């Protein structure tokens, strides 16, 4: 039996809110997710559409939740000044009792990334090297370094920084599945959070990460293999696909057939969705971050309840800690 964690992405973007929704209810939605037994709460970080800023959302969740990991999927460090970002992240980690996990990314070409660099006064060129160096700077600050010298950041006299719970800082995962991203994950990061449409691509990507880790003298098993997947469950499969198509158009401005070419998405009955998720677990994923495809907070909660009901275990009220869900590794 293989074990895996299952988390949920909170709908912090206005495209996922109904006209009568109160964004303050996101806090209650996070507590509901913890009560349902989800292992983690993730938030997105993007300027594609108006949304509650990621670190602000996590800071609000830190004192109102008790056990769930709080994560970003994925944080875009270039949007923030790096030293202040390290201070904010350490603060959230401390206020949550060491429950922070960061997935980071460098953005994508087109409207999904490059315009954000212009807004941030950061050059698009060498964005991946800048991302890696920013992570190095954060880790140096969290270790108590008094200076830092890199290609993009030069700080000969760093003031004392706030230290997070762990001496090494919170785990940092990389989002991305290009050959270069896979190699960088193996050499540099604590986990991997991609969204490949085909589980077979997850298997090959994870193999390349492990090879890069071994070459760099790192233990491959120390890298958390995660997955970001959009989910819609309905009793009627065509209804599920229609709802997921509505979500794709509202969130990305593209129809479902286009979105499912580039992202892991699954729609159907509970049994169909469970079978598809098991394929990714068989492919090697061990932390599934599920994004409910719903366009108001009430429907988001209903989808969260359906996803939580997929997993066998004791009733949520009896759970006193985040659960590790069991799944047959060869059950596809």
pLDDT band at 318 (very low <50, low <70, confident <90, very high): very low
Query: What's the pLDDT tens digit per position in 200-223?
Result: 999 999 999 999 999 999 999 999
Angle subtended at Cα 307 by Cα 228 and Cα 191, rounded to the nearest 5 degrees: 25
Neighbours of 289 (CB within 10 A): 25
- Is the separation of the CB atoms in 199 and 283 below 8 Å? yes
Average pLDDT over residues 276-281: 96
Mean pLDDT for the chain overall:
91
- Is the separation of the CB atoms in 16 and 46 below 8 Å? no
Q: CATH number of the domain that 265 lies in?
A: 3.20.20.30
- Is the separation of the CB atoms in 210 and 186 below 8 Å? yes
pLDDT at 10 over 70: yes
Q: Is the dihedral of CA 133, 221, 281, 196 positive or negative?
A: positive
Q: Answer yes or no: is 166 within a domain.
A: yes
- Is the separation of the CB atoms in 72 and 103 below 8 Å? yes
Determine if residue 232 is left, alpha or beta; phi over 0 gives left, psi from -120 to 50 gives alpha, anything else beta.
beta
pLDDT at 330 over 70: no
Classify 201 as helix, strand or coil.
Answer: helix
Q: Answer yes or no: is 276 within a domain.
A: yes
Identify the pLDDT of residue 110: 65
Query: What's the pLDDT tens digit per position in 285-309?
Result: 999 999 999 999 999 999 999 999 9
> What is the extent of the structural domain holding 216?
2-327
Classify 112 as helix, strand or coil.
Answer: helix
Query: What's the pLDDT tens digit per position in 84-122?
Result: 999 999 999 999 999 999 999 998 766 666 778 888 889
Q: Answer yes or no: is 12 within a domain.
A: yes
Count the domains in the chain. Answer: 1
Classify 263 as helix, strand or coil.
Answer: coil
Identify the pLDDT of residue 111: 63
Q: Answer yes or no: is 236 within a domain.
A: yes
Q: Answer yes or no: is 47 within a domain.
A: yes
Q: Answer yes or no: is 332 within a domain.
A: no
Identify the pLDDT of residue 3: 77
- Is the separation of the CB atoms in 8 and 38 below 8 Å? yes
Q: Answer yes or no: is 230 within a domain.
A: yes
Query: What's the pLDDT tens digit per position in 138-193?
Result: 999 999 999 999 999 999 999 999 999 999 999 999 999 999 999 999 999 999 99
**% of the chain residues with pLDDT over 70:** 91
Q: Answer yes or no: is 113 within a domain.
A: yes
Report the predicted TM-score, pTM, of the whole model to 2 decimal places: 0.92
Identify the pLDDT of residue 313: 60
């Amino acid at each position: 039996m293989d074990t895996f964690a299952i988390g949920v992405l909170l709908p912090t973007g206005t495209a996922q809110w109904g006209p009568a929704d109160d964004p303050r209810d996101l806090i209650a939605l996070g507590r509901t997710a913890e009560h349902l037994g989800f292992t983690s709460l993730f938030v997105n970080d993007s300027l594609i559409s108006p949304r509650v800023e990621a670190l602000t959302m996590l800071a609000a969740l830190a004192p109102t939740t008790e056990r769930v990991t709080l994560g970003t999927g994925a944080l875009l460090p270039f949007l923030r000044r790096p030293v202040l970002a390290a201070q904010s992240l350490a603060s959230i980690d401390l206020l949550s009792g060491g429950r922070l996990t960061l997935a980071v990314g460098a953005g994508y070409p087109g409207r999904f990334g490059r315009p954000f660099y212009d807004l941030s006064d950061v050059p698009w060129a060498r964005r991946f090297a800048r991302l890696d160096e920013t992570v190095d700077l954060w880790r140096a600050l969290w270790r108590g370094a008094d200076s830092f010298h890199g290609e993009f950041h030069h700080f000969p006299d760093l003031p004392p920084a706030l230290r997070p719970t762990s001496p090494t800082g919170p785990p940092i995962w990389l989002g991305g599945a290009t050959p270069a991203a896979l190699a960088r994950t193996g050499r540099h990061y604590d986990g991997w959070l991609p969204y490949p449409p085909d589980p077979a691509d997850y298997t090959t990507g994870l193999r390349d990460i492990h090879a890069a880790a071994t070459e760099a003298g790192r233990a491959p098993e120390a890298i958390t293999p995660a997955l970001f997947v959009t989910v819609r469950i309905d009793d009627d499969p065509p209804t599920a696909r229609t709802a997921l198509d509505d979500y794709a158009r509202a969130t990305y401005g593209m129809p479902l057939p286009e979105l499912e070419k580039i992202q892991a998405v699954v729609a159907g009955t509970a049994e169909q969705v469970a079978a598809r998720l098991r394929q990714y677990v068989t492919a090697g994923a061990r932390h599934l971050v599920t994004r409910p495809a719903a366009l108001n907070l009430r429907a988001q909660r209903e989808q969260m309840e359906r996803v939580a009901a997929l997993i066998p275990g004791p009733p949520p009220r009896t759970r006193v800690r985040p659960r590790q869900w069991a799944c047959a590794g060869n059950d596809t």
